[in-house]
Amino acid sequence: MKMTMTQKILAAHANLDEVKEGQLIEANLDLVLGNDITTPVAIGEFEKLNIDKVFDDSKVAIVLDHFTPNKDIKSAEQCKMARNFANSKNIKNYFDVGNMGIEHCLIPEKGLVTAGDVIIGADSHTCTYGALGAFSTGIGSTDMAAGMATGKAWFKVPGAIKFILKNKPAKWISGKDIILHIIGKIGVDGARYKSMEFVGDGVKYLNMDDRFTICNMAIEAGAKNGIFPVDELTLEYIKEHKCETINKNPKIYTADEDAIYDEVIEIDLSALSPTVAFPHLPENTKTTDEITEEIKIDQVVIGSCTNGRISDLKIAAEVMKNKKVAKNVRCIVIPGTQSIYLEAIKNGYIEDFIKAGAIISTPTCGPCLGGHMGILASGERAVSTTNRNFVGRMGHTESEVYLSSPAVAAASAITGKISSPSEICKEEVEEESVC
């Protein structure tokens, strides 16, 4: 039938035997997601429909994560509106202060998505869940309202680019370095309205957190979605995070051998170096080896829906353990969820960060979008593990954001300038690092 993974998932949810690139379809939804910024707009549109309930109160999720705990009166009013709606519609998967998290870390953790699902979210980084072999994509608040009402959404079937990941990455290379390398290679519109399909023998060397990171930033290449094949690691994650209140079983879709791709790109993971995206686009990438000038920084942010998971905190803590954050550098660490926060405490990572001179925040998207918890002033520079570095993204329009992996961010916090972790960490033969 010549279909990709994404096309097979969409065909199944549209009750069709086959779909083709460019075809318009109406697909059934497994989850509709919103946050404290986008949900109030969706509520306004939903109320115009004059219906009493959502299509399925277990298939709508609302996560208050951007401006919570509320940073000002306006954000408090937005959260109140979302809270009242969730209560009135009996939304089962509503997450507020105390049990919330950064939505794209929290939703997989809670087992609300699984392989083969179709998910829409009123947040552009909803494409994160492709790491689980699902089709997930960001939409606007109006589409969220329609999805909550009907359980359906219209899609134009995307074409696809196949990325063949080869070989084992070196010690400090993570999913963030891989996706930054890819975006630097193809550009921020290089996969416009395409599905980015990641395959190859190199996939087995990527943990689930790496895969979430890569799919999370598919939108930064203009893609409709990113997706990984389902393997044993995927199924193990799904089993460990199965939701007790929703009976969802994974459905595995594989691309046809003769599936049609617009392009096939090979990436040798063993040849990659730590990579940084310079202002003001994610495609402006340089490896740390290519940075010849000294770039002093004022702030480091380690967290976000891109890199706020436990392995991200682990590698950052490894780099920062028994060291001190450089003078005049502010280092902010944000665990992605309450569970990740607790695990980081148990493993000693939080103590390592605090002793190094960093601060720890409750889970929030705050600094990523210039909302709160780390706004930049004019002329300030930040190294951040977030996903966007547009003009004014984290504060003043004359500030600069450099995107990196947690390892590079942690090393930069210690040195006070953009640095590779290898500059301050000594590696042993077994590829275990001693910092």
Can you give the chain as a three-state secondary structure string?
CCCCHHHHHHHHHCCCCCCCCCCEEEEECCEEEEECCCHHHHHHHHHCCCCCCCCCCCCEEEECCCCCCCCCHHHHHHHHHHHHHHHHCCCCEEECCCCCECHHHHHHHCCCCCCCCEEEECCHHHHHHHHHCCEEEECCHHHHHHHHHHCEEEEECCEEEEEEEECCCCCCCCHHHHHHHHHHHHCCCCCCCEEEEEECHHHHHCCHHHHHHHHHHHHHHCCCEEECCCCHHHHHHHHHCCCCCCCCCCCCCCCCCCCCCCEEEEEEHHHCCCEEECCCCCCCEEEHHHCCCCCECCEEEECHHHHCCHHHHHHHHHHHCCCCCCCCCEEEECCCEHHHHHHHHHCCHHHHHHHHCCEECCCCCHHHHCCCCCCECCCCEEEECCCCCCCCCCECCCCEEEECCHHHHHHHHHHCECCCHHHCCEECCCCCEEC
Select from 246, 267, 288 the last residue of a domain: 267
| Residue 283 and residue 223 share a domain | no
For residues 278 and 182, state if they share a domain: no
Tokens of 345: 């405490």
What per-residue confidence (pLDDT) applies to 371? Answer: 85
Domain boundary among 213, 238, 267: 267
The predicted pLDDT at position 249 comes to 86
Domain total of the chain: 2
Residues of the chain under the 50 pLDDT cut: 427-434
The verdict on 222 and 295 lying in the same domain is no
**Both 283 and 185 in a single domain?**
no
pLDDT of residue 28: 97
Residues 333 and 200 both lie in one domain: no
Q: Quick one: pLDDT at residue 426?
A: 66
Q: What is the pLDDT of residues 121-165, one digit of tens each?
A: 999 999 999 999 999 999 999 999 999 999 999 999 999 999 999
Both 348 and 244 in one domain: the answer is no
Q: Which of 234, 267, 300 is the last residue of a domain?
A: 267
* Domain housing 113: 5-267
Both 332 and 235 in a single domain?
Answer: no
What is the model's pLDDT at position 431?
44
Q: Tell me the whole-structure pTM to 2 decimals.
A: 0.94
* CATH code, 238: 3.30.499.10
Looking at the structure, tell me whether residues 103 and 202 fall in a common domain. yes
Query: pLDDT at position 428, please?
Result: 39
